[in-house]
Each structure stands twice: as C-alpha cells, then as structure tokens.
Structure 1
Amino acid sequence: MTSDHAPPRFAPTALMLGNIVTGCSVLAPAGMLPELASGLSVGIHTAGLLITFGAMVLCICSPLTAWLTSRLDRRRLLAATLLVLALGNLASAFAPDYASLLALRLVMLAVGALYTPQAAGTAALISSVEKRGSTIAYVFLGWSLAAAVGLPLITFIGSHSGWQAAYLAVGAAGVVSFALLTWRLPSGLKGARVELNTWVELGRNRMVVLLLLITTLQMSGQFVIFTFMGPLLKKLTGADPNQIGLVFAIYGACGFIGVVIATRIVDGWGPYRTSLLFTCLMLAGVSAWTLGAGVYPLMAVAVAIWGLGFASTNSMQQVRLVAAAPPLASASVSLNTSVLYIGQAIGSAVGGSLFARDLLGPTGYVAMGFVVLSLLAILASRPRVAVAVLA
C-alpha cells in the first residue's frame, strides 16, 4: 500500500545506496577488463563475457525471483540481497582463476537480480502518489552514482592496485549499504502478490510490452560500446588508464546530473516527454562518439552528452511502467530490469564479436542503430491523452 505521507527519514537514500552497490557489482568488469584479462590469463573478449553471462543470469532471475519473493518483507529481502552482493564481491577478490570468478559472479548476480526492481517497488510503497515519480527516479540515481563514482574508482583501483583490491572495495561498500538499509527501511512493507497470471496480464498490456522493448533497444545500443569502452579508447586514441578512468567519470557524472534534472522535471513534464528528451541526448552522444572516433577530446565530449541520457532514460522507464499498470508494478519493474539485462547481454555480445574481429569503427554505427530504433519506439508509446490534447 502506497504511503500518503513523506517516506521515513533516509529510507529512499538507503534504497539508492543499495543500487550503487548493485550497479558496481554488475558494471565492475567493464572498468577493469585489461587487468582481469592480464591477471587471469585470458583475452579481452573472454573477460568481457563476465558481463555477457552475468547479464543473461540477471535477465532470467529478475522476474523469477520477483515471483518467488513477492510477499516477503521488503526490508529483510533487500538486506539479504545486499549481504549476498557484499559477500560475493569479497569472495571474488580471492578467486584463483577465471572459471572460479565467473561462477562466483553468476551466483552473486542470480540473487542480486532481486534488488533494483524490488527497490523501485519499495520506493513506490513508501512515497505518496504525487511524489512517486521523483522518489523512484531518486532511488534509481544509485545506478548513476555507480557509474559516476563507483566505476572510475574501480578503474583507478584496478589499474593501480589490481582487480582483487577493486572487488574488496565493492564488497566493503556492500557491507556499509546493508547496515544502513537494515537500520532505516521500515519493516512490514509488502507488495501485491505476483501470480503466474500476472505475467499474462502484463503480456496483454500493449504499453507495457512497448516500454519493455524500448528498454531492450536502449541498453543493447549502449552496451555495444560501453562494455569495451576502455579497450576501445586505448586502441582508437592510445588513452592510458587515467584517461580512460576520466571518461568513465565524465560518463557517470553527467549521468548523475541527468537524473537530478529528470527528477526535478518529471512531475511537471511527465515521464513521456522527459524520456523523449533524454533519449535524444543519448542518441546525440552515441552519434558524436561514432563520428569523433579516434580523437580523444571529441570522444570525451560525446560521452558527456551520452551520459546525460543513459540513467535518466532508465529511471523514466521505471516511472512509466509503474503508471502503466500500478497494481502490477512489482512484476512490470522486475521485467523491465530483466529486459535491461537482456539488452546488456545483446549489446555486449555484439560489441564483443566486433571487437574480437577488430571492427572498431562499426561498433558506433551499430549502437546508433539500436538507439534510433528505441527512439522510434518511444514515439510510438506517446500517451493517447497527449495526442488528443495536441489534436
């Protein structure tokens, strides 16, 4: 049941910090692919499969765990998920070989798939209807901060102290986040039960299906480049680890700024127009990356523009899904997270295939194609009431 009052003090922040840990857990290999490849004696493409296979597990487990845990107390559920992520990252630091690291990652992410959709659903439970959009966007800000702060730190630690130290840092952050969430999130929060026919109802909802397609296309396009952004920058521009870390920081910082702006305007603009705006920025950034390939300053500026859109569009997708089918929000948001990871798997697999064949230039054009398709899908999802008013 949605609250009519302000959420408990620091509860949204606790949920947001959990998303930082989740985001860092998912994205960490992208920030230290060369170190992982060198330390584990595998190729860059093989190291990139940590993201591809992890995304596949996430996309399967997100709706499955939403169904299995829909009636559990949210505080206990989310706290347990963060504890598994913390322990999984700490254990990863001691993995003796690639196979062990991959196995640990898959187990950790199978449980971690719970967090983002359940955090979004919990944010809806503790906020008023009027503030639901901005609260969900704020909670999703954790993913922006994971890219803005977490990923550059992972890149820095990995390049200077080794990939094991980077995993230890993420694990320590997970322990802190677990403690804060256990302290601040109220107990007794439960969403609507997710039944098998819930998925059937969602499949019959045209708007929900279209929104899920948008998420898939957006993430596929971005991860064609993002998974191998560090190695691409090194090969195309000769960038060193510090320059690569700077680009990751620009990407994440602009993502943070984008979400802050989206959080402030969504209640007035509405999620459709906000989503359209930031997807256009994403397309502009990916296009600039493609056209500026080989020139480090141009590619860094392109990443800044792209960064403004990447996290904002994700948070708007969450808001639009909650509005499209409020009683089914827990299930629809979990499906959105699932297709988000499907997009990551598709994009990283396509990007990896191109990278392995040394087709570095075409990666940008393939990414642009996916994002253009997502923009067309957004236009097709225009709310009917808006069409009527404009007519």
Structure 2
Amino acid sequence: MLGNVVTGCSVLAPAGMLAELSSGLDVTIRTAGLLITFGAIMLCVGSPVTAWLTSRIERRVLLTTTLLVLALTNAASAFAPDYTSLLIIRLVMLAVGVLYTPQAAGTAALLVPAEKRGSTIAYIFLGWSLAAAVGLPLTTMIASRYGFRAVYGGIGAMGLVSFALLWWRLPGGLRGAPVDFKTWADLGRNPMIIVLLSITTLQMSGQFVVLTFMGPLLAKLTGANPDAIGFVFALYGICGFVGIAVATRIVDSWGAWRTSVLFTGLMLAGLAGWALSAGIYALMAVSVALWGLGFASSNSMQQVRLVGAAPALASASVSLNTSVLYIGQAVGSLIGGLLFAREWLHSAGYVAAAFLALAFTAVIATRPRPTAAAAAAE
C-alpha cells in the first residue's frame, strides 16, 4: 500500500505544480501538462508489455526493484536542467513504475484467502487515495514555497523508505501465473472484461479533463491562491481516502457491482456539480469532495470485478486495466489541455461529466445476472 503512495505521487505530482513547472522550466502551462499526457501514453503502452515480460519474476524482487527505480528517477528529476531532460527522466520512471500497481494487487491476492480478496485489493489501492489526499496538497504547498525540485526530492526519499520496508516485510517465493500470448487472446474473447476495461477508460478520461488542470482552472475561474488550491486538492484526496475506506468495508457484503454503482454515481455528481458551479469557489470545492469520494474506490472496484470475471486471468486483466486507466489519463489530459489553451474553461466540466455519464450507464448495464440458485430462492 505504501508503494502505491510512491507510485501515485510519481504519476500525479505534475498536476499539483503545473504553475511552478511552467515558470521553473520556462514553458507554458499546457506544455507542462504534457508531462502527464506523455507519461500516461508510456504507462498505457508499458503496462501489458511489462506484465508479459516480468510475469515469471519473483514478486518481492519485482516490486522492490520497481520502487528503487522510482526513488532514483524522482531524485534525478530534482536535478533536471530543462524540460526535455525532465520529460525523458519521467518516461523512464513510468516505463518501470507502471509495474507496481497491478503487480501489488496480484501479490496481495496471493497473500489472502479468496473471500478476503476484494477488501484486500481495495486496501492496497488506499495508497493512491493517500497520494491524492496527502501527496497532491503537499505538492502544491511545497512547490509554491520551495519549487518543484523539492517535491521530486521528497518523493525520491519516500521511495527509498518504501523499498526498504517492502524488502524487509514481503515474503519471498511469491509467483503469479505466467502471462503469455494465449492469456491476451483469452482476455479479448471475454465480453465482460472488454466492457469493464471500457468503463475504466471512460472514468479516467472524464476525470483527467479537469484533474490535470484543476489548479490553473481554479486560479482562473475563482482567483484562488496556491493555498486555496492546495485545500481543494486535499479535499479531493481526503474524500478519496474516505470513499475507499467505505468501499473496503462494504464490498464483501454489497458486492463489487453495487459498490461500483454507488461510487461512479458520486463521481458523476461531483463533476456535474463542478460544471454547473464553475466560478464559485465554495461550490466547486463541494463538488470536488463528491467527486473525490468515488475516484479511487471506483477503480479498485474495477479491479475486483475483473478478478471476479476471470480469476485465472487476473494478473493480465488487472495489468490491462492499469493500461486503459492510463489511456484515459492521456485522453483526458490531452482534451483538457486543448480546452485550457483555447480558454474554454467552463467547457472542461461539461466534457468531463459527459464521459462519466457514459461510464455510469455502462456500469448499470453490467449488473450481474442472478444465479439459478438465487433465482430459485426468490
């Protein structure tokens, strides 16, 4: 879970300090935002490839090596002399870092009995909620006072701590099922997996239309200063933490589908609220809180549903879910950048809400059919 904090901060950090990256590297805010877009493209391509290449590697070696690379590349980012250097370091960082989240989920599934798999995977994903709850507001606060280099140095130090702890505590000898070409073919023939992956893409595309440029949008639409922007990021992350904590408690009794309906609906309500209240800081902050309740829990439910849809293919399907998640990030951040560059600031919320409305409709459509035994009981 702590490794996911490091991974989440590594991926999300530029969103919390676009203004500082822009001024420190002498580029536009939209160009700084391309760190997220290009990084997401690397992540979406790298996830299935690295899952295939590394599926036979023992899990403690794989996860700790990934964290060590994240730590070192974040430290290198602190000393990047220009934008091009920082972009190259980021692409290397994420090409390796893409391994962590799906392999951590798969490793967690090896450590617990099947009946606790759902809540355990949701718990592992708490790391991303903490990255948003603590990492993003701290990024904004530290970058506004000490510059973006201090942020990268801090993430690098946290990565080294996580590396040491994981090496110390994770049991050795854990191995998942090997991933081969037949695995990908089996995934492609499973309609439910295809639909679930489409839902992830829509959810992430909608969120990153706004999330990538949330700081500059708040500044332009409401005149918010860095501390006020940091507060909204904190609200987003704290509510994400609360949401996934609730999801962890209810998923084993509610089921992943009902839990997914709840939290996808909250994301839709939050982004619709952002669109309708654009320009009013307090209402936009409340909307971000609603949205935040759903962002991490919805994705963890996607992973739980993928594992349940084809347990034997879980390592590959969770990895592919990570890949399409980053496709969504790339699509959303690219659209958000185009809207921001053209000063279509109010449009971002409506575009984001449209993506989430499609995702919510698809979630409703995937309601599980009752088994024969359940139907007879009714």
- TM-score, structure 1 as length reference: 0.95
Q: 1:241 to 1:127 in 2, by over 3 A?
A: same
Q: Which whole-Å CA distance do the structure 2 matches of 1:385 and 1:336 have between them?
A: 25
In the alignment, which residue of structure 2 is the partner of 1:152? 137
Specify the code of the residue in structure 1 equivalent to 2:77. S
Give the match for residue 315 of structure 2.
330
1:105 to 90, 94, 118: 90
- Other structure's SS at 2:79 match: coil
Comparing 378-387 with 333-342, greater Cα deviation is found at 378-387
Q: Could you tell me how far 1:151 is from its partner in structure 2?
A: 1.0
* C-alpha separation in 2, matches of 1:71 and 1:127: 20
- CA–CA distance in structure 2, aligned partners of residues 125 and 66 of structure 1: 16
Match of 2:24 among 39, 50, 55: 39
Structure 2 Cα separation of the partners of residues 317 and 163 of structure 1: 33
What is the match of residue 24 of structure 1?
A: 9
Unaligned 5+ runs, structure 1: 1-15
Is structure 2 residue 328 aligned with structure 1 residue 343?
A: yes
1:283 to 238, 262, 268: 268
Secondary structure in 1 aligned to 2:293? helix
The reply to whether residue 231 of structure 1 matches residue 231 of structure 2 is: no
Q: Identify the residue that residue 255 of structure 2 maps to in structure 1.
A: 270
1:56 equivalent in alignment to 2:41: yes
Q: How much has 1:175 moved relative to structure 2? A: 0.5
Q: Amino acid of the residue matched to residue 240 of structure 2? A: G
Aligned-residue offset at 1:248: 0.2
Paired residue secondary structure (1:131): helix
Query: Which runs of structure 2 are paired with 1:301-340 in the superposition (5 Å)?
Result: 301-340=286-325
Which of 365, 374, 391 is the equivalent residue of 2:359? 374
Q: d(CA) in 1 for partners of 2:113 and 2:81?
A: 48
Partner of 2:181: 196
Query: How far did 1:376 drift?
Result: 0.9
Change (3 A) 1:160 1:375: same
Structure 2 counterpart of 1:219, from 181, 204, 221: 204
Task: Report SS of the residue matched to 1:385.
Answer: coil
State the one-letter code of the partner of 1:100: S
Distance of 1:369 and 1:298 partners within structure 2: 20
Deviations 1:44-87 (A, max 9, x none): 00000000000000000011000001011000000000000000
Distance (Å, rounded) in 2 between the aligned partners of 1:234 and 1:33 = 12
Q: Does 1:177 align with 2:162?
A: yes
Corresponding residue of 1:74: 59
Q: Which residue of 2 aligns with 1:13?
A: none
String of CA shifts for 1:228-250, please: whole Å, max 9, x gaps: 00000000000000000000000
1:257 aligns with 2:257: no
Q: What is the rounded CA distance, in whole Å, between the counterparts of 1:98 and 1:251 in structure 2?
A: 28
Residue 241 of structure 1 is matched in structure 2 by 226
Partner of 1:91: 76
Which residue, out of 289, 295, 303, partners 2:280? 295
Per the TM alignment, residue 386 of structure 1 is displaced from its structure 2 partner at its CA by 7.0
Matched with 2:108 is: 123
- Paired with 2:311 and 2:109, the residues of 1 have a C-alpha distance of 10
Residue ranges of structure 2 left out of the alignment (5+ in a row): none
Name the stretch that deviates more: 184-193 or 379-388: 379-388
Which amino acid counterpart does residue 303 of structure 1 have in structure 2? V
Distance 1:381 1:67 in 2: 28
- Fraction of identical pairs, as percent: 71
Which of residues 105, 126, 129 is equivalent to 1:141? 126
Shift in Å at residue 215 of structure 1?
A: 0.2
Partner letter of residue 82 of structure 2?
Answer: D
Distance 2:171 2:136 in 1: 30
Match of 1:8 in 2: none
Shift of 1:121: 0.3
Q: Distance in 2 between matches of 1:54 and 1:216?
A: 16
SS in 2 for 1:130: helix
Structure 1 residues 10-50: Cα deviation after superposition (integer angstroms, max 9, x where no partner): xxxxxx00000000000000000000000000000000000
Q: CA deviation at 1:319?
A: 0.5
